Structure 1
Amino acid sequence: MTVPPPEFLDVEDTKIALRRRPGANPGLVWLGGYRSDMLGTKAEFLDRFAHEKGLAFLRHDYSGHGESAGEFRDGTISLWLGQSLAVFRQFSSGPQVLVGSSMGGWIALRLIEELQKLGESSRVAGLVLIAPAPDFTAELVEPQLTAKQRRQLAEQGYMEERSAYSPEPDIYTRALIEDGRDNLVLKGVIQTDCPVHILQGMRDKDVPHTHAMKLVDHLPVDDVTITLVRDGDHRLSRPQDLELLARTVSGMMDRPGAAGSPKPPVQ
């Protein structure tokens, strides 16, 4: 299988790297997590899955991530959302299933809101969320801040926290946290107008499964399924987790009204 080479889209003077695979619609659109990139385990797995099934697949790196330009510390939810919307509208057509991991779940929910404002809600045929972290800055980061970290945010504009996945610390900026308050989705009914399937590990130390259950409470009008993986962590990237992801995406494609009939490949 040939891995598609990166392409680049200028979004507000920043080169955003993306990879796309032509195929039938509904295709898959990957939205990665905080500090992750489009060459991660789950994204690469979905690329192989799309290739085997003949589906279109689109993925990109947010600014400051992976192969995209820009400084990570300059990133905000609004900035990364705008880049995701630009890539989605320019490099996909027809119905798509959004697959959002961790922060990518927040981006996916906000992306749907923006598409609804544009009258393009039919572009989203389904939503698969992996350990979703909507509103994580307000719900998961701010409540845990120490007095020292609050001083760092106020005085230097950022704070650092040890990362479980990298020797480099996680960085949270004051701009990210303040902008996060303008992008909250757990404040009322979330209407996606499409089926939603959530995959959540019960041993997730970064985004507890109670957060996923809270999200379900805000999705009362949609077709929502949640699968709790008793021994799953935040990444959900073990072989058995990837098999579950494949079954979930396949099931989303088979849902009546979720995917529709396959359409010609997107070139």
Structure 2
Amino acid sequence: MSTDAMSWPGPVDGAPYTEQSLTALRLARAAVEAADAAAGIIPTGPPGRNRVPGLGLSDALIFMGRARDVLDAAVLTERVHGTGWDVIAETITADTGEQITAEQAENRWGHLETEWESAQRLASFPGRKDIVGIPDELLDPHYWITRRREEPDGPGPGLVSDRMRRMDAFAELAHQSRLRDQLRADNLAPTPALLAPIYEREALLADAMADAGHENYRDLAAKARTRAADARARTTRTGKDSHDA
């Protein structure tokens, strides 16, 4: 098929959000929580008769913690968009007066990338979203956006949602391939129950690529469906054997 007849397929139904979108959502969540914490510091209403010692300080410390979360999320967002540690260090130095080198910035925030990648990977595996420690914006991004919209004092429509983009078919194929590689890295022989939905998804994505005129993807879809069927069959046999035992 000629190049002119090909098109670039967009997201397939159910496609995950891009990493850039998810980090933007993380930054939004951190900012909302910091704003809520700041609002709690503002004294309102008539003075109470019995002031609780240390309460105002405690509120301020909570806000400081939330503000640090905003900074962490902003650094992570920059890194996902390709910003170098040298630029991050220069920005911090220029805006805060704190002298910090690229190496120091990486030492301070570099672990965020590793932790984020790990959480994102865990949230992507079917049936593994009950693991403690996965951020809300990875577990159910759409729910978080909707919930914030519905709150009277929440951000209006479009503040975050207009920035959210889902992976196109080609990008998601690479994403699914990385998931399989990670399963094999975590388990020498991954369970068929975890592999089957990945193969099934790859078949749909390969179909989208083939429908858009890209060569060889129809064969890839057929192979993925064969592997998915085999994985499902092995899952059924394993379940039956366990039941019989």
If the TM-score is normalised by the length of the shorter chain, which range does it land in? under 0.3
Structure with greater strand percent: 1
Q: Which has the higher contact order (CA 8 A, sep 6+)?
A: 2
Q: Which has the higher helix share?
A: 2
When Rg is computed on C-alpha atoms for both structures, the one with the higher figure is 2
Provide TM-score, normalisation by structure 1: 0.22
